């Protein structure tokens, strides 16, 4: 028996039976059942991103693709024709031999397979394994056993990310909720003892902390929608230059010096269709970061831009918005992590989720966002958005 791995394709190109992309049997034996399916789909086992192991009705391996070899650190050619339990010696987390425990060729004839679970390879390496029992007729004997293998690295990264998110949320919620609970309990217990000014100060603190919790919950909802691809973009005409001026006016009304902001609009600007609330969210986050973490003048430039998505493709008209400051900027080694979850440029507050959400919003509009160093030495964020009327309105 033989199996074609990626390294053997060229040598087998003119071999008998080479037209069967999934050949797990020796060509002299003719195509097996799996070959017909793979050939019909135009696939080779090595084309699959996950490990694939197939055993026949006798429990001997007929297919062991390159991904399975990579995951198990085994040469496929060494295990073709071997018993499955020898080619793929798996144990559960309690150290029990998996094939003896599940007995795929015996046991209940109504079983159709095994759901994905963590199992151990020799040496203790974890791997995700699922199995399918193929029967020619219901309750008949197993004629083929198909095993899928996947590494656990991606799942572990996801689990770590979720754990970090939970820890961050717990930390960010604890402080404002403790404040809200403390002030409300104090006011309820000793209302008559406080002056009106003291009561107002406490209630203003409670209001600010409640707003902080509301913002955090909104960020978590945005992250959930971005990660699941469910972020809705309700496009309508947007005057982005007016939106920039509105945000600057809000910051000056909140106490920032008007001379700190410089707005440059290079027109005429093409018509922009975008979600106004989402664009406000992006502008608000970038300007707040520039004010909080940067120094000197904050410059906001709005200008038309021509972007060429492909080297040999036509240029696409876009609107570019750049926000820069004159502070210390972002270290070169940190720029690749700016748009990841929980990245913080300094210890001046924030959850570290804002720029991750900004990137998700811009990309949901079909745009791009980059970070670099401004001419004045500070950080420079530049995002571009496609312009023109959406196709569904044309």
The mean predicted confidence, pLDDT, of the chain is 84
More confident residue, 170 or 368: 368
- At residue 182, the pLDDT reads 93
- At residue 142, the pLDDT reads 94
Contact present, 372 and 382 (Cβ < 8 Å):
yes
Q: Is the pLDDT of residue 339 over 60?
A: yes
- At residue 390, the pLDDT reads 64
Nearest residue to 388 via CA among 310, 314, 317: 317
What would the pLDDT profile of 142-156 be if each residue is shown by its tens digit? 999 999 999 888 778
What would the pLDDT profile of 95-104 be if each residue is shown by its tens digit? 999 999 999 9
What would the pLDDT profile of 157-185 be if each residue is shown by its tens digit? 877 877 877 887 787 788 889 999 999 99
Q: Which long-range contacts (CB under 8 A, 24 or more apart) does 202-208 make?
A: 205/179, 206/179, 206/180
- At residue 36, the pLDDT reads 58
- At residue 10, the pLDDT reads 36
Alpha-carbon gap, residue 269 to 240, rounded angstroms:
9
- What angle, rounded to 10 degrees, do the helices at 240-253 and 276-293 form? 50
Q: Is the pLDDT of residue 228 over 90?
A: no
Mean pLDDT of 223-237: 89
Q: How confident is the model at residue 370 (pLDDT cuts 50, 70, 90)?
A: very high
- At residue 28, the pLDDT reads 37
Q: Is the pLDDT of residue 7 over 70?
A: no
- At residue 82, the pLDDT reads 94
**DSSP H or E run through 183:** helix 153-190
Mean pLDDT of 11-23: 35
What would the pLDDT profile of 62-117 be if each residue is shown by its tens digit? 999 999 999 999 999 999 999 999 999 999 988 999 999 999 998 888 999 999 99
Q: How confident is the model at residue 294 (pLDDT cuts 50, 70, 90)?
A: confident
Q: CA-based angle 352:358:360, to the nearest 5?
A: 110
Q: How confident is the model at residue 267 (pLDDT cuts 50, 70, 90)?
A: confident
- At residue 312, the pLDDT reads 65
- For 92, phi then psi, to 5°, come to -80, 180
More confident residue, 297 or 392: 297
Q: Is the pLDDT of residue 389 over 50?
A: yes
Q: In whole angstroms, what separates CA 158 from the centre of its chain?
A: 9
* Percent of all residues in the chain with a pLDDT value above 70, rounded to a whole number: 85
Q: How confident is the model at residue 391 (pLDDT cuts 50, 70, 90)?
A: low
- At residue 309, the pLDDT reads 62
Q: CA-based angle 331:333:339, to the nearest 5?
A: 85
Q: Which long-range contacts (CB under 8 A, 24 or more apart) does 371-376 make?
A: 371/330, 371/335, 371/338, 371/339, 372/335, 373/329, 373/330, 374/299, 374/324, 374/325, 374/326, 374/329, 375/324, 376/296, 376/297, 376/299, 376/324, 376/325, 376/326
Alpha-carbon gap, residue 380 to 299, rounded angstroms:
9
Q: Is the pLDDT of residue 16 over 50?
A: no
Mean pLDDT of 290-318: 82
Q: Is the pLDDT of residue 130 over 60?
A: yes
- At residue 176, the pLDDT reads 87
Alpha-carbon gap, residue 206 to 203, rounded angstroms:
5
- At residue 315, the pLDDT reads 67
């Amino acid at each position: 028996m033989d199996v074609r791995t990626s390294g053997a394709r060229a040598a087998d190109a003119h071999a008998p039976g080479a037209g069967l992309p999934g050949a797990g049997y020796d060509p002299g034996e003719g195509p097996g059942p799996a070959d017909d399916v793979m050939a019909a789909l135009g696939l080779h086992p090595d084309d699959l991103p996950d490990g694939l192991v197939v055993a026949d009705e006798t429990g001997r391996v007929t297919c062991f693709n390159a991904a399975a070899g990579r995951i198990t650190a085994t040469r496929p050619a060494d295990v073709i024709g071997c018993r499955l339990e020898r080619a793929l010696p798996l144990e559960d987390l309690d150290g029990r031999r998996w094939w003896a425990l599940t007995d795929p060729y015996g046991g209940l004839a109504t079983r159709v397979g095994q759901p994905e679970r963590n199992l151990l390879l020799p040496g203790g390496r974890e791997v995700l394994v699922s199995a399918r029992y193929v029967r020619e007729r219901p309750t008949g004997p197993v004629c083929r056993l198909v095993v899928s293998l996947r590494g656990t690295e991606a799942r572990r990264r996801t689990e770590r990310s979720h754990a970090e998110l939970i820890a961050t949320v717990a930390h960010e919620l604890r402080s404002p909720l403790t404040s809200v609970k403390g002030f409300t309990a104090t006011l309820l217990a000793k209302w008559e003892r406080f002056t009106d000014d003291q009561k107002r100060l406490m209630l203003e603190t409670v209001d600010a902390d409640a707003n902080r919790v509301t913002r955090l919950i909104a960020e978590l909802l945005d992250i959930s929608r971005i990660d699941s691809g469910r972020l809705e973009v309700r496009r309508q005409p947007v005057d982005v230059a007016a939106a920039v001026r509105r945000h600057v006016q809000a910051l000056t009304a909140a106490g920032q010096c008007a001379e700190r902001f410089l707005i440059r609009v290079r027109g005429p600007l093409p018509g922009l269709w975008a979600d106004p609330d989402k664009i406000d969210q992006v502008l608000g986050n970038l300007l707040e970061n520039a004010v909080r973490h940067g120094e000197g003048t904050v410059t906001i430039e709005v200008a038309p831009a021509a972007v060429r998505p492909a080297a040999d493709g036509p240029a696409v008209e876009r609107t570019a918005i750049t926000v820069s400051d004159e502070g210390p900027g972002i270290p070169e080694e940190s720029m690749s992590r700016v748009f990841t979850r929980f990245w913080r440029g300094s210890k001046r507050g924030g959850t570290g989720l804002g720029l991750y959400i900004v990137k998700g919003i811009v990309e949901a509009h079909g745009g791009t966002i980059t970070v670099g160093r401004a001419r004045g030495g500070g950080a420079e964020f530049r995002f571009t958005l496609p312009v023109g009327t959406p196709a569904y309105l044309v």
